Copies of this chain bind each other. A is one copy, B any other.
Amino acid sequence: MNDATANSHAKILEVAEALYARRGFAGVGMRELAEAAGLGKSSLFHHFRSKVQLYLAVVERVLARVEERVQPILTAHAPAAERLDRWIDALVDAFAEQPASARLLLRALFEEDEFDAADWPEGQAAERRLANVLDGITRLLQQGMRAGEFRAASAPHVVQTLIGATIYHFASGEIGERLLGGPLLSAEAVRARKAEMKQFLHYGLAARPASSDEGGQS
């Protein structure tokens, strides 16, 4: 694979990521995509066997970037609670730097059955990456619960909310800014988001049972 090939390949992925993030898999045609990449439509099929393969490659690339940021933290030498803090930092950073990723990922998570079972012979690469990330954070939670750092009952709940809120936040675009009354991506906003997430984390994971209203009020 020489430079020209690699360049076209990368250019296609780049352009495709932007377009798929904006209008989704079904909403973007190969013609439009080719034109945006400065190629003929046939050339796309030289680099990727089919539209589905191209889309999966795009999703996989996004997940790979996230994984690369987030996964090394899991094995660090530190208490689970601190690793979880850093994990959140990394996740927020990853999305803040490339907000299109958040949109694409949000769509992709809900498009599973947009072409399910079909073609897609061994496109599991993307799925494997997603499973890696989810399994990683799940294991981290279990470690924290075993070590008594987290409240067992609500840990998955809290992290689920955390991930959802983060992805949603950076994907929300103008709607989010309208409610927020300010920019989503300024350095300050990113810092504020990290702080908010960590507060939520510590509150949700470490606080006393606090299950609504019964509690051991002796």
Name A residues whose Cβ lies closer than 8 Å to a Cβ of B: 22-27, 103, 106-107, 109-114, 134, 137-138, 154, 156-161, 163-165, 167-169, 171-176, 178-181, 191-193, 195-196, 198-200, 202-204, 210-213
Contacts and interface: CB of A to CB of B under 8 A. Distances in A.
A134 to B, nearest CB: 6
B159 A196 contact: no
Contacts of A175: 109, 112, 134
Given A164-B165, A164-B168, A178-B134, A196 B110 contact: no
Top 3 closest pairs, chain A to chain B, by CB = A164-B168, A26-B27, A26-B26
8 contacts: A23-B111, A106-B110, A109-B175, A154-B192, A157-B193, A161-B200, A165-B165, A195-B211
Given A27-B111, A134-B175, A160-B172, 4 more contacts: A157-B196, A164-B164, A195-B212, A202-B213
A163 B173 CA distance: 14
Contact of A168 (B114, B168, B176, B202): B168
A87 to B, nearest CB: 14
Contacts of A24: 24, 26-27, 111, 114
Contact of A161 (B111, B169, B191): B169
A148 to B, nearest CB: 14
Given A110-B173, A192-B157, A212 B198 contact: yes
A116 B26 CA distance: 16
B172 A165 contact: no
A200 B114 CA distance: 34
A156 B179 contact: yes
B160 A179 contact: yes
A203 B199 contact: yes
Nearest to A176: B160
